[in-house]
Amino acid sequence: MRKIIVGSRKSKLAMTQSQQFIDKLKEKHPDLDIEIKEIVTKGDKIVDVQLSKVGGKGLFVKEIQQALFNHEIDFAIHSLKDVPSELPEELTLGCIPERENPFDAYIANNHVKLADLKPGSIVGTSSLRRGAQLLAKYPHLEIKWIRGNIDTRLNKLETEDFDAIILAAAGLKRMGWSDDIVTEYLQEDTMVPAIGQGALGIECRSDDQELLDILKSVHDENVETCVTCERTFLNEMDGSCKVPIAGYATLENDEISFTGLIMSPDGKERYESTIKGTDPVEIGKQVSEELKAQGAYEIIKKLNEEA
């Protein structure tokens, strides 16, 4: 068995989730010799600017993809929500493992519920998607930009003028934080998750059949079905981090239910549709067509032109 080099961002969360995935792979293939190579991406270098203002897609994956092209690594472990909806032809998602909690975690000082926050309360998030959905439902709140890893943000909640912050539940769970720290997990009716949130995307070269066969052992077909629907919608809508876009698919008894959402950053315009069916690509396209018919693409066009 050859030695396998795995590419990962060097953040604490990325390294932790990479190690967790490798451990799962080794449960199926104990003889694998795997080494992690840390790679710094453009998104990791930009810590003082809101990502939506940087522009471009693949801020956290391009350098890692280049390492795949250069044969410096054999596969990459990404948070799927960071992966653009279209991949270069030579690369493929060889595996999508079991999904962690896809929802957002709301963490407040003194565990004050979101609905009980007083007017003018400050909620920290670096996501346009979260900010827009919050303002739509709670226009009396103030959104303040926050960046940094989980520990940094939790520390800012305690030491700066934030009343609450919102993080991806998956990151907290993978880093071993207890549920006790979370005031509420925000369900879909309050906040539709980011596309692919909670899922990992394992990217490799399309022609590496030996590796593709190994990765198949930890692949989750149900998760793949759901995220295919979400990512089809993202691609059809030309979504990026500059656009408040959300999408979440579930699968029950072979029926997919998918909700797609586009909003203006101030939360005042909202375009949403839910469709059920069995073909993930078809459903993603149908929701996209419905939102475009409602006028949602005008928001995307405007935000992309502002870049």
Tokens of 273: 């549709």
Residue 307 predicted with pLDDT over 70? no
Q: Give me the catalytic one of 74, 82, 163, 208.
A: 82
Ramachandran angles phi, psi of 280, nearest 5°: -60, -40
Interval 16-29: pLDDT, tens = 999 999 999 999 99
Q: Is the dihedral of CA 127, 57, 52, 296 positive or negative?
A: negative
Whether 82 sits among the annotated catalytic residues: the reply is yes
For residue 118, what pLDDT is reported? Answer: 97
For residue 57, what pLDDT is reported? Answer: 61
For residue 44, what pLDDT is reported? Answer: 64
Q: What's the mean pLDDT in 254-273? A: 96
Q: In which region does residue 56 sit, left (phi positive, over 0), alpha (psi from -120 to 50) or beta (all else)?
A: left
Tokens of 121: 């309360």
Q: How confident is the model at residue 52 (pLDDT cuts 50, 70, 90)?
A: low
Question: Global pTM?
Answer: 0.93
Interval 56-113: pLDDT, tens = 566 778 899 999 999 999 999 999 998 988 999 999 999 999 999 999 999 999 999 9
